[in-house]
Structure 1
Amino acid sequence: MTILRQKVDMLTHHYPPQELYKLLKKNIISKEYVEYQFMQKSKIPTMHFQQSLPRLPIPKLDLTCERYLAAQRPLLIDEAYNKTQYNVNQFKSNVGRQLQDMLKNYDKQNKHTSYISEFWFDSYLRDRKPIPINYNPVLVMHKDERPEYNDQLLRTANLIISSLRFYKSLHAGILEPEVFHLNQRKVIPRSLGQFAVTYLHHYHETDKDRLFNNPQGKHITVQYKGHFYAFRVLSDENDILPPDKILARLKFILEENIPKCEFPIGVLTTMERNKWATIRHELADNGNEHSLKLIDSALFNVCLDKEILGDDPYAIIRNFLHSDGENRWFDKSFSLQLSKDGQAAVNFEHAWGDGVAILRYVQDIYKDSREKPFVHPNTKPYDDDIANVIRLGTEFL
């Protein structure tokens, strides 16, 4: 097996962390290589605690009914509450017991997951309301305390590189496990099951959406002035491209002298879902399937805004939570968003997971981009061939 093949296998087939350290010790891969390619190098495998975590227990029927009545009591007058109490007692002694038994049997047959998992996905994917505001939250990062690193181009490049370092560490199994510190002596491991589906795409269909994953993804998409661009950030061997190349490709996008997109397709992701699903199929049937696939299969999306937001929290939240939708693609599992003055946020699609997973990602890339930036004010962009950046805006008909 060649050195290159060993490296590729290690990065793409979830080798245990010990394999990485063996390769390092044998000088098969350099320390400099590892320092750039990986955010963390945990000796405890990322998913080490996963099998030992307790499964979510099914609440007892009586307790569920008691909690429901307790929640209704402050909201109802006595007459309405008494009627509700009667109905709950009828439910508990009849159909409720049957449903409880069915739920227990379902849980026994699906020991690989939580009994609530399928219902969670179903509730998010079947709802037809638009996903921005109704479902997509946003997490806003603090600015870098060094003003020169808040330059839009500079900060975007560093956050992209940190995101890729997080991605590589996760898939190599060397991202540090997630633990909750109860006190100085006791820690509780948290589930990282949702991390496996962090880099997904929400694909709208009529009546029920689906989630799309591209484990071979090597490119990202970037939105600017409503236009879509795509460029590779990983090599054929799954190595993160050098910082100066990523910087050059972003610089080309920000400096391209083109007007605002006349028909920004991103705004369609703000629509009622059945309507958007219908329009999406029409777009694909009219020669845009390749462009849509590039967006769907990207590792993540980046939104570069022309707005200067300052420090007004209301302006920041309005812009990053929804804006006018023209420079957004709300279907992506997450989008890095950066304003002209370097404010940064992550807007994420909620169906694939909850805030715990995305919060860990945001905290890690924020810390990494500040403490270990690979692009600096004096970094010169690589003299890159602009053919490496594809503008998709002209392909949408």
Structure 2
Amino acid sequence: MNNDHEPSRRTFGNEDALPRIPLPALEDSCGKLLDWCTPLLTEEQLAETRAAVEAFQRPGGPGRKLQAALEEYDASEGVHSWLDTFWPYRYLGRRDRIALNANFFFLFRDAPGLPPGASQAERAAGLIAAALDYKLRLDDESIPPVAQRGRPLSMVQNKFLFSTTRIPGETQDTVRVPYSDAWPGPSRERHIVVFHRGAMFRMDVLGPDGRPHTLDELTTALTAITKTAVRPDAPVGHLTTMARAEWARARRTLLGDPANAASLDQVETALFCVCLEDLTPRDTLHACDQLLHGDSGNRWFDKALSLIVFADGTSGINVEHCGLDGTTVLSFVDAMLGESAEAHSTRSAAAPQGEPAVAPIEFILDDGLRGIVREADEAFAAYGAATATTTVSFDDFGGDRAKQLKISPDAFVQMAYQLAHKRAKGCTGATYESIATRHFRHGRTEAMRVVTPEAVRFATVMDDPAADEAARREAFRAAADAHVRRAKECQSGLVPEQHLWELQLIQKRRGEELGVTKPLTLFETPGWLVMRDDYLSTSSAPSTNIEYFGFGSTSEHCIGVAYVLLPDRFNVYLSTPRRVADQMHTFADRLREAVAELQALLETEAAAAPS
């Protein structure tokens, strides 16, 4: 920061002055692991876990050697955080498909200033203009750093918004990205990729001097694409739905033809994708589902940002997760939708320069590649069909109401999830919540485990016929307070899961070098496995500019719970494997009941309080 300690107003000006993420002590993480897993285990499972934890952290034991290696790494020159190698493995190391499994979406609210009856092309042009305005300001570092309670947050993820593409690998993926050694500074590319009916087009949205085209020019070019696009017999976008090693092999085959290599280069360097859909969503849930997985031939799921616009102008975004978390994308979306397209176009100095250059992006496929594309299409369509989703909307509850009832809004909804799950499935299940840690240098998220002893007691007391209203209320408030305490722990960075996971990964990478070659029994214990076997995977995206947020579930019995908790309303998108769809719908019903019941419980307390 500056000499007077005032935060810099340059986008990336505060990064080096942000505090480093603390590296937890081994003993602390081992102790907290036991605390966190205890509510989910039997006595026998806990005893087995405790023995493995003691062996792991004993003097001279494997945990000590791995911790010493991590401490040495954390102190190394050029390392921003002890998590620097964890994040690439966590996201780029996964070998299943990222489409539906890892990418997430936002459904946008209506655009400000867009006239009723505006065309699909006009809506898309407005979004392009807004994104270009943001990109040009980002290049100049004139996007104000996001602050939280007066403290600047890490903005480094913003470098991955434009021209960033995940590249499939046999054992681990890589990323093609600006602001890197291979591609210094911001992207100077001038084009986007537009999809329509599975056909792909390169469209220059910035002129030779870097100034954006006008809204009218963008609209004209997009309209022409919608009128001329013919669906190819094998849309290559389907390949991005494959498991990563399979996609890597298909990509290597594609690259065997120089024409395909040039086409891939255009896609991978493009600023972002715009996907124009033929269909008009039947309803909000249909729009959400299409944003999550939709027509995979009309997507490039490896692209960091894909703006999706339906035939009626309904729109949203699909995001590749490896370099971008929800909070960063929300800031981008808030900037896009916070002003009219005309305001963005004017500020970016858009100038008339003729219709944007548009050219088809074509791939040469032999019969083998066509077969791979068709198989990918069929497999992903079946995978999407095997996913059940629903939405739950509350127009009579939001963050303001929770605060009026003197309770943390997030704690309220998380306890509602716990109560609804216990009533729907008859058990308490491991629950993940993503906690942002961008107040640290290069900070991203921390893994919070929601099930505390207080949460278990709360869910039990709520359905205990012998418990009166006061007892239920006391249990609810105790659980909410415990939730807030744990969330603050996660915000501090001094929590166990990612720390211990990174120690496990160090052994995989360097075990022989460090003399830690025997299997680590800690990571085979019920405590580690049960705590991380999600029954609920939850994350929030608070923004007035989105209607819904969503992602896929993380296991065969998991319900993905993506929620938009605003001052005056609360919207939830749920997803789960279709074979357990009945349980998800029961959970949704119980959630509606729980929110009403918990409000009523606190309202009687408020009514009884002296004025």
TM-score, scaled to structure 2: 0.53
Match status 1:92 vs 2:92: no
Q: CA RMSD in A?
A: 2.2
Match status 1:113 vs 2:97: no
Match status 1:140 vs 2:107: yes
Counterparts in 2 of 1:97 and 1:383: CA distance versus 1, 3 Å: closer
Counterpart of 1:326 in 2: which secondary structure? helix
- Distance (whole Å) between structure 1 residues aligned to residue 325 and residue 70 of structure 2: 23
Match status 1:243 vs 2:215: yes
- Deviation, structure 1 residue 290: 1.1
Which of 282, 290, 300 is 2:272 aligned to?
300
Q: Which runs of 5+ in 2 are unaligned?
A: 1-7, 179-186, 347-351, 367-611
Q: Which amino acid aligns with 1:280?
A: R
Deviates further, 294-303 or 146-155? 146-155
Counterpart of 1:294 in 2: which secondary structure? helix
Contact 2:127 2:341 in 1 (8 A): no
Match of 2:298 in 1: 327
Q: Which amino acid aligns with 1:278?
A: R
Match status 1:71 vs 2:40: no
Counterparts in 2 of 1:390 and 1:396: CA distance versus 1, 3 Å: farther
Q: Which runs of 5+ in 1 are unaligned?
A: 1-42, 376-380
Contact 2:133 2:345 in 1 (8 A): no
Contact 1:143 1:150 in 2 (8 A): no
- Deviation, structure 1 residue 371: 7.3
Counterpart of 2:57 in 1: which secondary structure? helix
- Distance (whole Å) between structure 1 residues aligned to residue 36 and residue 279 of structure 2: 44
- Distance (whole Å) between structure 1 residues aligned to residue 157 and residue 81 of structure 2: 12
- Structural mapping, 1:263-282, within 5 Å: 263-282=234-253
Match status 1:352 vs 2:323: yes
Q: Provide, for residues 127-150 of structure 1, a one-character-per-residue CA deviation record: whole Å limited to 9, x for no partner.
A: 110011111011111123655275
Match of 1:25 in 2: none
Contact 1:130 1:271 in 2 (8 A): yes
- Structural mapping, 1:123-272, within 5 Å: 123-144=90-111, 146-148=114-116, 150-180=118-148, 182=149, 187-199=150-162, 200-213=164-177, 215-256=187-228, 258-272=229-243
Contact 2:190 2:210 in 1 (8 A): yes
Q: Provide, for residues 292-311 of structure 1, a one-character-per-residue CA deviation record: whole Å limited to 9, x for no partner.
A: 1110110111100011015x
How many residue pairs were aligned?
342
- Distance (whole Å) between structure 2 residues aligned to residue 366 and residue 340 of structure 1: 19
Q: Which amino acid aligns with 2:160?
A: V
- Distance (whole Å) between structure 1 residues aligned to residue 342 and residue 214 of structure 2: 18
- Distance (whole Å) between structure 1 residues aligned to residue 94 and residue 20 of structure 2: 27
- Deviation, structure 1 residue 207: 1.1
- Distance (whole Å) between structure 1 residues aligned to residue 166 and residue 250 of structure 2: 15
- Distance (whole Å) between structure 2 residues aligned to residue 116 and residue 369 of structure 1: 39
Which of 46, 62, 70 is 2:27 aligned to?
62
Match status 1:80 vs 2:45: yes
Q: Provide, for residues 161-188 of structure 1, a one-character-per-residue CA deviation record: whole Å limited to 9, x for no partner.
A: 11011000001011111111x3xxxx11
- Deviation, structure 1 residue 112: 4.2
- Deviation, structure 1 residue 391: 1.1
- Deviation, structure 1 residue 241: 2.3
- Deviation, structure 1 residue 123: 2.1
- Deviation, structure 1 residue 313: 2.5
- Deviation, structure 1 residue 44: 2.3
Larger Rg: 2
Counterparts in 2 of 1:137 and 1:341: CA distance versus 1, 3 Å: same
Counterpart of 2:274 in 1: which secondary structure? strand
Identity of aligned residues (%): 29
TM-score, scaled to structure 1: 0.81
- Deviation, structure 1 residue 46: 1.5
Counterpart of 1:85 in 2: which secondary structure? helix
Counterparts in 2 of 1:126 and 1:303: CA distance versus 1, 3 Å: same
Q: Which amino acid aligns with 1:206?
A: E
